[in-house]
Amino acid sequence: MRRLRFTTWFLILAVAVFLGVFLLWPLAHVFARATRDQTGFTLSYLRNLFTNPIQIEAVGMSFLIAACVTVTCTVIAMPLAWLFARRAFAGKAVWSGLLLLPMILPPFVSAVGMKILFSRAGALSTLMMNLGLANGPVDWLGRFPLAGIVLLESLHLFPILYLNLVAALGNIDPSLEEAALNLGASPVRVFRRVTLPLALPGMFAGMVLIFVWSFTELGTPLVFGMRRVLPVMIYDSVSEIGTNPAGYAQVAFVLVISALGFWISKRLISRDRSVATLGRLSVGRKEVPLTRTGTWLATGFLVVVLGLAVLPHLSVILLSVSRRWFLTVLPQGWTLEFFGRALNSDLTREAVLNSLGLSLGATVIDLVLGFGIAWLCVRKRVFGGDWLDALSMLPLAVPGLVIAFGYMGCFSGAFPNTLLDPRFNPMILLAVSYSIRRLPYMVRAAHAGLEQVSTTYEEAASNLGASPFRVVWRVTLPLISANLLAGAILCFSFSMLEVSDSLILAQSERFYPITKAIYALIDSLENGVNVASALGVWAMLLLGAGLLWATALMGKRIGQMFRAG
Amino acid sequence: MPTPPAIEVCGVTKRFGTVTALDNVSFSVEPGELFFLLGPSGCGKTTLLRILAGLETPDTGTIRFKGRDVADLPPYERGAPMVFQNYALWPHLNVRDNVAFGLVERKVAKAEIGSRVDDALNRVGLSGYGTRMPGQLSGGQQQRVVLARALVLNPPVVLLDEPLSNLDAKLRVEMRAEIEALHSQSHITFVYVTHDQADALSLASRMAVINAGRVSAIGTPLDLYLRPPNAFCADFLGEANIIEGRGHKVDFAGTASYPAVAVERDPPRDEQSRTPSRLEGPVPPGPAGDRAESKVETAVGVWMVASQVAPGATLRCLVRPENLQPMGGPAEGFNTCEATITGIRMNGPTVTVALEAGGLMLRATLLTQQGAALRKGQQGLWGVAVANTVVLPQ
């Protein structure tokens, strides 16, 4: 017993130290620097955000982008969620898998494709000239950069809202709706007076999530060349991190906004749970089959949405297999050489190897930490376990931007020219930041696994002579291996395509992960865009396969991983 | 000194928050016994078993296995394998690996593990099932695997937690016989928890009846059924007519009864728990033993009982329904009363007759042939042998 208790305390201590050093300290550092000058405490840097015209513009633009993306996502996701939660139609299972596809590529890579489609020399402009609809080339993106950003981010993020909405609708006890029908309300009235009010908390929670994610998105505006947005301003201020505290103030502001957002969505979700379900669902839900016309309409809508979402990806793919796409509607000079070059040039080969190593490291860290935290919370119910759990969920509310900026500020100063100095060698910090960012998913996966596995299995093992370590090794771990594997796949796949941490932390080419290499290639000469696209396609394939594998392992519960609460 | 008991439980108390699950429980189990812990659900018997296995820690009290204090031993060092109510067969291991689990943990040589697992599966009639996964087995087969998993260790003690509760009626009877056979072949001490008195009465060497966290009685099934120490025990072990009465003022035989030998009705609480069984306490005579008889005033008339009762003392008498029968007329050695039949229920081999006598509702169980002529509304004389009119001491 004493050995067990020692292990438990050691585990708690290890987890607390890790999260303390790599999560809390950087955040505290950001806040400290944002609110201190030579004389002591000050709010002037923060106040500057709302008085300096450039800063006001950036803050305003960030809010505008986030608001537009949220609205667009809602418009897309609402009907989809209703369709998939309440109606049965041909091909539903396939469609519901395809709906996750837009998540697989970071929007800034799709942005490369978008630029080709809509730029002055791009496909749309050329098409319109060929058809005689325009007199000269039109730079659609230059004219509507905001629309491009909003569209790309919306098409990337709507699956998240969709998953949240399906869950919110699924949580409503069908008997509540049946009672309303029974008392004389028409289906439309039932939806307005019962379904919608009950689903609202979950819906808002999902919307807050989208808002926060698009508010902190760095890659897309960066590729579109929009400098006056908070995330990009933060990115630009990394170079003067030691001297200019303005960046710290911006980061602190972003952090406050996202933390607030996540707090709100968590509150909404917890209310959602207490209101919408009467304990156990009292009757099973039956899905109404769509009529033939309805099926056509639904399929049409899905084709349009997914088609739009896939369009940038498609253009990325086209870019990767062609030499020229300039002042033509379709690309020319078909070739597969870029796929080879994407893996062979020094920059990209190193980037792929870096990303593989970093993602593997992050996944291992997450497996150990995630299982440890879930085990402490679910099985040991240790004092402070709830705090550990809450702490491990905190990264959901902390954008990668903030963590990376915090690391630059903290570790460069505290451990100059060591392996913990990102300017010297960012590898350890990159792996750690990836793992911190994806820790919540792993904790949730392990948590769900442990709660499904009856403690009796472990008691039986202990009863038959297995020591606590042996119980975990021979019974607990094998029983939740599917959950851990799914969590690990998600960690790995998303780490491979982590954007903001990679862009900020990797400062020299030797340490570039895939995403930073893509970013560097976009602007390079000699078909850099094509190589970048080919690299993007490799990444797309990897992440897509990972998502499908994880979905197969977790089944319907995959949606829980992306829920707000 | 004789060999120490296989298990000694001494003054065990366990609270969960404000709920007292076990209250000063003591008993001991002799080596090789098939000992039952019997009680209604929620009485604390499973908690008691888990304390024996080391899965719960008692607040106070000691547990000894063969005289050795095991209170501080973690579950994996107790060596008392348990048969879990919901089987707890690991779904990721096949039958062989499930059975071999404990042997692997004990670092037994591979070859020996193989032969012992074969032997254990053979004993429970599952040889050839080794490569199946638990999910591919029926409930009864899973139950056998769990038994094999425990018995393969050849442990001094096996703990069984409601092992038959998930089986259907027919399988229960089969498994009951099988558990009895496994026990008698193995000389292992079994501690068996159940809420089913049929399991306990048919299998137990001895049993402890548990009520609300306390030991209500300890004894052999026969003793506890025939001469239960209290109304709870009488009622829980079978059907019971409880008739309240009062010691008759004037002794019929002229030998005055003295309070000193009176049956204690409400002894102080701690005394009650210290002498849980009348068989271990100041014992009134058994049915065939002492001739002492007393008269008791009851709602159905003045009855004789085969034990000494203080005049004026209130008491309760137990009459088992199978001992109550229709009488042609008063007879020597029988207590009788006039009763009206208020209902008849056929059970197959027996009929249960509901009677109303002197404002009391009584039940009688007759063989179906004997009860065939009886009709609802009939009045008549019913009686029970004095020897079967049992005074409940508590």
pLDDT in tens, A59-74: 999 999 999 999 999 9
Helices A337-344 and A346-375: crossing angle, nearest 10°? 70
Q: Answer yes or no: do B325 and B202 share one domain.
A: no
Name which of B76, B91, B149 is nearest A462 (Cβ-Cβ).
Answer: B76
Q: Answer yes or no: do B192 and B240 share one domain.
A: no
At residue B353, the 3 state secondary structure works out as: strand
CATH number of domain containing B298: 2.40.50.140
B166 in a domain, yes or no? yes
Segments forming the whole domain that contains residue B100: 7-222
B2 in a domain, yes or no? no
Whether A466 contacts chain B with CB within 8 A:
yes
Task: State how far residue B117 is from chain A, nearest Cα, in angstroms.
Answer: 14
B71 CB-near residues (< 8 Å, 6+ apart):
B57, B58, B62, B63
Q: Answer yes or no: do B322 and B217 share one domain.
A: no
Domain C-terminal end among B196, B222, B248 = B222
- Give the least confident one: A176-190, A260-274, A488-502, B258-272: B258-272
- Predicted confidence band at A556 (pLDDT cuts at 50, 70, 90)? low
Interface test with A, best of B46, B51, B105 (most A CBs within 10 A): B105
Q: Which of A424, A418, A430 is nearest to A499 (CA)?
A: A430
Per-residue pLDDT tens over the stretch A305-362: 888 888 888 888 888 887 777 667 777 777 777 777 777 777 888 888 888 899 999 9
What per-residue confidence (pLDDT) applies to B188?
Answer: 92
Pairwise CB contact (< 8 Å): A464 & B149: yes
B227 in a domain, yes or no? no
What per-residue confidence (pLDDT) applies to B274?
Answer: 40
Pairwise CB contact (< 8 Å): B91 & A462: no
Domain C-terminal end among B154, B187, B222 = B222
What per-residue confidence (pLDDT) applies to B281?
Answer: 37
B323 in a domain, yes or no? yes
Q: Residues in chain B with pLDDT < 50?
A: 251-290
Q: Answer yes or no: do B213 and B98 share one domain.
A: yes
Domain C-terminal end among B190, B222, B254 = B222
B228 in a domain, yes or no? no
Q: Answer yes or no: do B130 and B39 share one domain.
A: yes
Whether A460 contacts chain B with CB within 8 A:
yes
What per-residue confidence (pLDDT) applies to A563?
Answer: 56
What per-residue confidence (pLDDT) applies to B219?
Answer: 95
Name which of B53, B86, B106 is nearest A463 (Cβ-Cβ).
Answer: B53
Contact (Cβ atoms closer than 8 angstroms) between residue B96 and residue B132:
no
Whether B72 contacts chain A with CB within 8 A:
yes
Listed in sequence order, the DSSP H helices in A183-291 are 187-190, 196-215, 219-223, 230-237, 246-276
B337 backbone φψ class: left, alpha, beta (φ>0; ψ -120 to 50): beta
Q: Which residues in chain A have Cβ-Cβ distances shorter than 8 Å to B79? A: 465
Higher pLDDT, A68 or A500: A68
Checking if the pLDDT of A444 tops 80, the result is yes
Contact (Cβ atoms closer than 8 angstroms) between residue A251 and residue A173:
no
- Predicted confidence band at A278 (pLDDT cuts at 50, 70, 90)? very low
Q: Answer yes or no: do B191 and B292 share one domain.
A: no
Give me the interface pTM, i.e. the ipTM. 0.75
What per-residue confidence (pLDDT) applies to A561?
Answer: 61
- Predicted confidence band at A260 (pLDDT cuts at 50, 70, 90)? confident
* Counted domains in chain B: 2
Mean pLDDT comparison of A111-125, A233-247, B115-129, B304-318, highest-scoring range: B115-129
Q: Answer yes or no: do B256 and B311 share one domain.
A: yes
Please report where in the chains the tokens 């550990």 appear, as a residue: A388
What per-residue confidence (pLDDT) applies to B258?
Answer: 38
Mean pLDDT of chain A: 81
Query: Domain A1-32+336-565 is classified in which CATH homologous superfamily?
Result: MetI-like (1.10.3720.10)
Checking if the pLDDT of A564 tops 70, the result is no
Pairwise CB contact (< 8 Å): A460 & B53: no
At residue B194, the 3 state secondary structure works out as: strand
Q: Answer yes or no: do B244 and B139 share one domain.
A: no
What per-residue confidence (pLDDT) applies to A71?
Answer: 95
Q: Which residues in chain B have Cβ-Cβ distances shorter than 8 Å to A470? A: 76, 105
Higher pLDDT, B190 or A410: B190
Long-range Cβ pairs for the range A331-338 (8 Å, 24+): A338/A527, A338/A530, A338/A531, A338/A533, A338/A534
Pairwise CB contact (< 8 Å): A465 & B88: no
The mean per-residue pLDDT over the stretch A406-431 comes to 82
- Predicted confidence band at A152 (pLDDT cuts at 50, 70, 90)? confident
CATH number of domain containing B121: 3.40.50.300
What per-residue confidence (pLDDT) applies to A288?
Answer: 75
Pairwise CB contact (< 8 Å): B105 & A465: yes
Interface test with A, best of B76, B87, B99 (most A CBs within 10 A): B76
DSSP B104-154: HHTT--HHHHHHHHHHHHHHTT-TT-TTS-GGGS-HHHHHHHHHHHHHTT-
Name which of B55, B91, B92 is nearest A463 (Cβ-Cβ).
Answer: B55
The mean per-residue pLDDT over the stretch A472-493 comes to 86
